[in-house]
Amino acid sequence: MKKISVHITLMFIAVLSCCLNCYANVSFQNLKCEMLENPLGIGTVHPRLSWQIMSDARNTNQTAYQIIVASTAAKLAANQGDLWDSHKVNSDQSILIAYAGKPLISRTVCFWKVKVWTSNVESKWSEPAKWTEGLLNTADWKARWVGYDHGFPWDSVSKFSRLSARYYRRQFDVKPGIKKATAYIVGLGHYELYVNGKTIGDQVLAEPPTDYTQSVKYSTFDVTRNIKQGENTIATVLGNGRFFTMRPKYKPKKIKEFGFPKMLLQLEVEYANGTKQLIVSDGSWKFTADGPIRTNNEYDGEEYDATKEFPGWNSGGFDDSKWLKAELVESPGGRVEAQMNEPIKVMATVKPIGVTQLKPGTWTMDMGQNMAGWLQMRVMGNRGDKVTLRYAETLQPNGELYVANLRDAKVTDVYTLKGGEQETWHPVFVYHGFRYVEISGYPGKPELSDFEGQVVYDAMATIGHFETSNPLINQIYHNAYWGILSNYKGMPVDCPQRNERMPWLGDRAVGSLGESFVFANGNLYAKWLDDIADSQKPDGAIPDVAPAYWNYYSDNMTWPGTYILVADMLYRQFADRSSIEKHYASMKKWMAYMRLKYMKDYIVTKDKYGDWCVPPESPELIHSKDPTRNTDGQLIATAYYYHLSGLMQKFAKLLHKPADAQAFATLQLNIGNAFNQKYLDTKNFKYDNNTVTANLLPLYFGITPAANRQAVFKNIVDKIQNEANGHISTGVIGTQWLMRGLTEYGRPDLAYRIASNSDYPSWGYMVKHGATTIWELWNGDTANPAMNSHNHIMLLGDLIGWFYQDLAGIKTINAGFKEMVMIPPVIESLDKVDASYQTPYGLVKSSWTSDKTNFNWHITIPPNSKALVYIPVNSTSNITEGGQKITGIKNIKLIKMENGRAIFQIGSGSYGFEVKN
């Protein structure tokens, strides 16, 4: 009996140990609500919840989950889901699961956690996460819009707008027993918020730009720790942003104007006894515009006079008797909605690498990197000294700033010292695109240690890593990375430096896909789709710029078509179908508008831009004038209508609209037939004038008859190899499909040659000529300065997507990388690719090395995902994984051999494949 008892005890310990190990092997990370971490004041009552599973065990798949949502942290800890207990749900879904509990109302606080079951274990509960509901109804807002719809004597509203910042303050008393305090604010165009002298939040350039006549975004802040019993002060500074436009009356009917800065603010103090106190923006606030920020204009810069500071203005005890009373003003007209995309923040710092004296009192500082943000300066001097900082991307041969490509943007900050002590300053309501800064008026010699570049963009995580054995490719990726982040400013803009900085749709059509491998940009692009929808006219027209700050409704297929392409990107990359659901009707309306207005015999007859910015025949040209280089606009427009019809058919099926799906399928078939009849030369198997773009679009979009595809592709290859000498010859449109098109038709080597060229025209040419970002033009060093931004990303096309999808071999099969297909290319001149990407399910890695005899591939697949991997090999007997023959390894399933590759299905985990031929 004693031996049996000991044996049972040992068995129990072993089982317990096994269970504990099982629990330890499954944990969680990145619990998110609406793809945000612990968001405050969200604007939906059916938020979507996501989590990532972590496990060292291979083939870990979720089989069920349970979500608990509680109204207090204590109830959540006690597993009391008084708001929602999903109970055990048999499902492998772990991303974007819609809340389905009790109806949520404004201000509801929600604590939540999750646990899962896998094929092996039941996990422990995750750590708790949280979200709060915002002000969901118009009636929740008791605040009034306040502002001052006039300028002051020191302001100017002429062509070059100069408007000083407006400073607002309000004192109030708070009783004992504070439980909670929450601030809700809309500050147009930008704001800073203070409570009792402390800055609230670490966001900058708040809030995100919109068409303010259609929507404005409010932010929510928990200010409980900032409120105290007794006297309190809440204060704001309002800057111009995109609200008070940078160029009023610049070109009649071109620029949309909104008026003078204004604010909507509501502070709610909740007491332990259940009572509430409201402090709202109204006529009781005091304000002045005669403060230190004398002007703030995104194009021209910020001027700050420290001698005009009023210490303590945002705290108690300040004498504001000479300040003006805030005026009640009209609403800008837009819906007041919660901000659901990440705020802009200072995301990195750059140390300058050199400073050179141009002449007495004038210096040029080199940051070593083209960037977007501002320069923070430390300075010590006399009261009234003025330091002027002027920004540029490049230098003239004599060392002076090159500013011709900035057009009439003044890009100048001026700081006036108060004197007597060391002062630290940077602008707060403007940003600059720059590598070089001209410094004049600085007391003494400017030292590198007294300056710091602060990099400003939307606070989204960097989720991708990519490098190869080719240093030039690595530098191109570096340049792309900096170009992408430079142009995230609450919306995707074209450039950060000149008098434009507009959200052109065409720049992001396919580029958004590549960007999504680098940054977690899902919320930004979902917000941008709302901007596009807000810009749509009643007849269905969509502009080329959205928000429509510029009145460019030129009725193209290519630029507005980005509306549909980005929605598809959000679905494929993030499994976000809500954007498709939300915008389907608007997309359909636009497609109908273009068809009824411009389609004749199934050919779309309207185009404005063509294949924008093909490499021109002369170095000073912006646009080619050679008809053999340019692609017919109607061909491009019709091909795009065909492709977008296919996406609309896909969307209609996804949304269970079979009649719409059939209508788009029929229309697409008719367009394809008409396109081939009009443009396909059936003798020479070329389209129209045989440009790469003219042949590539119908081939890649599936218009080309199957029997003719290889012949058409041969024409593409011949054009690139023979006429372009292995270089790129496409503009913005063709480049969006080029690299993937070449690879999918069996020529990744040619795509790689284009990517790794270092002579003109190429991305490498930009690198060899000193670029640290991407140029607007292939000949950006020689073209007319009217349009040669040195920090643009539209010419990236599908390059970054190709880096990840093809060179690294990381592709989603359906949506969100639940299932992947991994097919790295075999390119003799490329020895190594090392890439990783944070999918919605977790981190996927693909790292391969190759030589003439060996191919080694290290792969990581996140839990709850699986992949088909295509290993280049002639026989499976030549493959080992972790030192073992692959045929005998559990959970690695051979699907088939195909075209010199062995196709295996693998589950989650880390793998090391070795091939010896």
pLDDT digits (tens, 9 = 90+) for 58-71: 999 999 999 999 99
| pLDDT for the residue numbered 814 | 87
| Average of per-residue pLDDT across 869-885 | 94
| pLDDT for the residue numbered 569 | 98
726 with 753: CB under 8 angstroms? yes
Q: Give yes or no for residue 892 having a pLDDT over 80.
A: yes
Lowest mean pLDDT among 54-63, 789-798, 883-892: 883-892
Distance CA 710, CA 882 (A): 40
| Average of per-residue pLDDT across 583-596 | 98
Share the mean pLDDT of the chain.
95
The pLDDT confidence band at residue 2, using thresholds 50, 70 and 90, is very low
∠ CA 241-172-323 to the nearest 5 degrees? 55
| Average of per-residue pLDDT across 573-580 | 98
Q: E strands of 491-575, at which residues?
A: none
| Average of per-residue pLDDT across 714-730 | 97
| Average of per-residue pLDDT across 689-708 | 98
Distance CA 729, CA 188 (A): 44
The pLDDT confidence band at residue 24, using thresholds 50, 70 and 90, is very low
Lowest mean pLDDT among 1-10, 786-795, 819-828: 1-10
Distance CA 303, CA 295 (A): 5
| pLDDT for the residue numbered 21 | 40
| pLDDT for the residue numbered 22 | 42
The helix (H) or strand (E) run that includes residue 302 is strand 301-305
b/e code 228-239 from CB counts within 10 Å (16+ = b):
eeeebbbbbbbb
720 with 750: CB under 8 angstroms? yes
Q: 3-class DSSP state for residue 661? A: helix
Question: Which of 9-18, 411-420, 615-624 has maximum average pLDDT?
Answer: 411-420
Q: Give yes or no for residue 31 having a pLDDT over 50.
A: yes
Angle between helix 511-518 and 471-486 (nearest 10)? 100
Distance CA 156, CA 167 (A): 18
Distance CA 589, CA 580 (A): 14
Among 35, 84, 92, which residue's Cα sits nearest to residue 579?
35
679 with 694: CB under 8 angstroms? yes
Question: What does the block give as tokens for 304?
Answer: 């700050």
- Going from the C-alpha of 368 to that of each of 309, 359, 375, 452, 837, the distances in angstroms are 34, 21, 13, 12, 28
Q: Give yes or no for residue 3 having a pLDDT over 60.
A: no
Q: 3-class DSSP state for residue 303? A: strand
Q: Give yes or no for residue 900 having a pLDDT over 80.
A: yes
Q: Give yes or no for residue 187 having a pLDDT over 50.
A: yes
| Average of per-residue pLDDT across 544-551 | 96
Residue with token string 């503009």: 731
Distance CA 537, CA 528 (A): 16
> DSSP per residue over 195-208, as a string?
ETTEEPSS--SBS-
CB atoms within 10 A of CB 656: 8
262 with 373: CB under 8 angstroms? no
Q: Give yes or no for residue 251 having a pLDDT over 80.
A: no
CB atoms within 10 A of CB 454: 19
Distance CA 678, CA 494 (A): 35
The pLDDT confidence band at residue 12, using thresholds 50, 70 and 90, is very low
Angle between helix 578-598 and 633-654 (nearest 10)? 140
Distance CA 284, CA 801 (A): 54
321-376 pLDDT, tens digit per residue, is 999 999 999 999 999 999 999 999 999 999 999 999 999 999 999 999 999 999 99
Q: What percent of the chain has pLDDT over 70?
A: 97
910 with 867: CB under 8 angstroms? no
Q: 3-class DSSP state for residue 251? A: coil
| pLDDT for the residue numbered 13 | 39
What number of residues does the chain have?
917
The pLDDT confidence band at residue 567, using thresholds 50, 70 and 90, is very high
| Average of per-residue pLDDT across 837-844 | 98
778 with 734: CB under 8 angstroms? no
Q: Give yes or no for residue 820 having a pLDDT over 50.
A: yes
| Count of helices and strands (H, E) across the chain | 16, 48
| pLDDT for the residue numbered 785 | 87
263-295 pLDDT, tens digit per residue, is 999 999 999 999 999 999 999 999 999 999 999
